[in-house]
Structure 1
């Protein structure tokens, strides 16, 4: 940036309105009050606008631009919360049909325009990054010139600088040095830092409050960095994990290094006969034994030993037993498993017998595990059953073919091939709840329903958050900046001997009323008159 020399000899950057050293305004003939927001220093965004970098800097240094970006981000975030985001859908939901099935045409539009992935989309990340860039540039564009100006200010200021402060006054007294010394002692007692030069004084305190907004910006920048880090693989995870009683499953996100087994699930409800009378009406309103009191999963955590070998069960070492309750998660490494949901009496297995339709003779039963069904079942003596197809949540699709909506066994259906000594080529049967269809004509044998087995399931949330400390740090720094900027004030008082008169001027970045009251106390025992509020005088 180009410079010019003030009459005091100080070199200022082109665009400076008030000399950083002596305070001489460049528009010396003007009479309106000085704009002291940035001490009249030259800012890059105002002075330089030639290269592409300058134009980008100028764009992002604008507070108006920052506000517009924030508003757009808030609107986008609001739209993203109208319906659940795709990564928060129930584990059994089909994302391609969920929104239309649940919310109709609005859900279909919501999904089509990509709002189902709002917070992980590239354009939302770009908006968040733009806010961060704007905060950095806005801060640097203002804080560096302001810091330099405050550090370079001299005690003796240009007369025009004093005259154009909001609070200014002239006093004529007999013993100027004595009166200035009295004021100096009072100012020191009130915590002001005093600098002297040629009999003039500059009293200053609370300069650090000027940095409050920029500390806010630092906190926000750290907070935004933490938010964006959540989309870096391995930094943040919030996934659902359903485990059935007796089932062993790898913990999602651990690369199959950890496994969990549900040993038992406990469900307790409120009983009006056992609870305090004050809860009786509430329990009766919702129904006795209907309100969950506690549900917990008794689990065992295992750690895998060695490498995974295809086709072989992993070698596991028990880590610990734990009872997961609501708000009492199982924690290990950087993971936490929270109890969030449950299913009571979920289908676990169906039992069938192979029945001779003519004689009524039954063989079996066979047990079909609904989570991991076997393909072949040997009933010996030449009797065999093959599971040709399995539909956990059966329905007929648009082509009229059997299909499954989800992998959850809510409405299981099976296609069996039955081979017997009397039917060596085999017979095919389609078996569903209250359905037994013979697609190739009448069979000699059928698969008869013989019973069901049910188990309880627990719904866990697997959570990992390595950004939490960074979010807390950003929030703490932001609050420090808020307190720093709100509860302290930057105050400066200039008292100068000008040709046998005492000129006094005062500035504060906020709360001029408080400054006036303080000046009355400081100057109460002196003959120096309290400066007047020139802005208030003009308005009158």
Structure 2
């Protein structure tokens, strides 16, 4: 970067408006007086040179200048907020109801929400918060925060570090708060110095020139805010990685042992027992709720579970060796925790069919003597059942939660065996022509009306199923840290002010000037206390004076 030397001897980088040492106005910020109007200095960033305002030649300069703009940062935030709002119109893919007839997103959104759901899915809003373009938006906001902060923080830090007590006359006379005293004694200056120290000002004395300063740390509040926001954005990006965040839903039936999703096969869960407790129907507190819903109100539902950990990675198809890790009960708002994971009780399905037993008998047999029997595991039905007496039953269609569509065709409302129905092909011994039967709860339909054999239900077993949410979130501490740092920055910049008072001897008198980033009334009161008991003139607010005399104010 090109540099130039001020008449005070300090070398400033190109683009500096006010000399970092003496404050002399440079480049287009010259002294203007006339018609009772005095142009005040632009003290933003103390007139220091900003890279984005100085260089715009190379591609790096253009990128830096683009992202250092506050407008660009605001627009990136607005676009992200609008996208986030659109993403909340319909549930995200991970929140598609587990009992939905078809959880495939390319079908679910159109079936449930019509043309708007289809557009929502095709535009990719169904999986918004982990999509590549949303992550790019988050990253761009972070880049904008970093560049905008560095573009302003570094030159401001250098300017405040290099400032001297002895300031150029133009710098002092063009401050918003200014006064001139024709004569002042050394004792009066010493009194002012002591009074400022009593008000917790840090006073620097350079050959009789005084700089009283306090609250400089408040200037860094916005940049502390940015650090907090950057940490929050990093946490949001990290949350999209499986290592930092896992949120999976799994159904586990009583007596069933399953690998826990999202753990790469390392952990397993076994549902030992499911318990459902309801409030007493005679309890007046819940009588209205019971009457409205038509059923009892659950007071507790919990899963007694065992968590296992795989000892090693088995060969494909081989059963892993499991070690019991922990045992406990999972209840609402009381998760079972292990190795950074939390398992929450999120739902249940009571009285779900587990197994059904059937028999084959002759249609014209009044005693319905079984010619063969077989049992169907409804969680994992086999396609064909070979019976001992030569019969073969093919399970052609299975509807776990049967209902009849408007066009008269059967379908399943969910994938859970709440109301199972079957289309069975029965092959008699030594015959390749099947007899077709439709069988369900309270239904036994002969498709052709000419069947010689019939299939009937003889027994069934039922069990409960637990809906469990498995969650791991290592990003929360980062969100908490970022939020805490952000609030520190808010407090730092809101409740303190950077106040500076310059006192410069001149021709036997004194020039007194002051500047603050906010609360001008407060710094005026500090000056009144400091000059109390002396003949030093109190400061005048030159911005108010300009407005009074000319109807307009200068820069502040």
Q: Equivalent residue of 1:301, what SS?
A: strand
Match for residue 25 of structure 1? 25
Q: What is the CA deviation profile of residues 112-163 of structure 1, one whole-angstrom value per residue up to 9, with x for unaligned ones?
A: 2222122222221121111111000100000000000001111100011011
Q: Equivalent residue of 2:17, what SS?
A: coil
Identify the range of structure 1 (281-290 vs 304-313) with the bigger mean alpha-carbon deviation: 281-290
Matched, 1:447 2:455: yes
Matched, 1:473 2:481: yes
- In the alignment, structure 1 segments of 5+ residues that lack a partner are none
Counting only pairs closer than 5 Å after superposition, residues 168-183 of structure 1 correspond to structure 2 as 168-175=178-185, 177-183=186-192
Match for residue 192 of structure 1? 201
Matched, 1:255 2:264: yes
C-alpha distance in structure 2 between counterparts of 1:10 and 1:376, whole Å: 93
Q: Equivalent residue of 2:45, what SS?
A: coil
Match for residue 129 of structure 2? 119
Match for residue 324 of structure 1? 330
Match for residue 538 of structure 2? 530
Q: Equivalent residue of 2:44, what SS?
A: coil
Q: Equivalent residue of 2:138, what SS?
A: helix
Aligned length: 535
2:111 to 95, 98, 101: 101
Matched, 1:372 2:380: yes
Match for residue 134 of structure 1? 144
C-alpha distance in structure 1 between counterparts of 2:64 and 2:316, whole Å: 56
Match for residue 486 of structure 1? 494
C-alpha distance in structure 2 between counterparts of 1:444 and 1:171, whole Å: 122
Matched, 1:80 2:87: yes
Residue 349 of structure 1: CA displacement?
A: 2.4
2:65 to 58, 65, 73: 58
Q: Equivalent residue of 1:529, what SS?
A: coil
- In the alignment, structure 2 segments of 5+ residues that lack a partner are 33-37, 549-556
C-alpha distance in structure 2 between counterparts of 1:28 and 1:97, whole Å: 69
Matched, 1:42 2:43: no
C-alpha distance in structure 2 between counterparts of 1:134 and 1:377, whole Å: 66
Q: Equivalent residue of 2:305, what SS?
A: strand
Match for residue 5 of structure 2? 5
C-alpha distance in structure 2 between counterparts of 1:405 and 1:121, whole Å: 30
Match for residue 351 of structure 1? 357
C-alpha distance in structure 2 between counterparts of 1:243 and 1:36, whole Å: 66
Match for residue 519 of structure 1? 527
Q: What is the CA deviation profile of residues 417-470 of structure 1, one whole-angstrom value per residue up to 9, with x for unaligned ones?
A: 44554x554634343425545567833222112344322211111111121221
Q: What is the CA deviation profile of residues 68-104 of structure 1, one whole-angstrom value per residue up to 9, with x for unaligned ones?
A: 1111111111011000011221234232221122222
C-alpha distance in structure 1 between counterparts of 2:329 and 2:461, whole Å: 24
8 Å contact 1:269–1:289 — kept in the other structure? no
Q: Residues 315 and 117 of structure 1: is their aligned pair in 2 closer, same or farther, counting only changes over 3 Å?
A: same
**Root mean square deviation of aligned Cα:** 2.6
8 Å contact 1:492–1:506 — kept in the other structure? yes
Q: Equivalent residue of 1:362, what SS?
A: coil
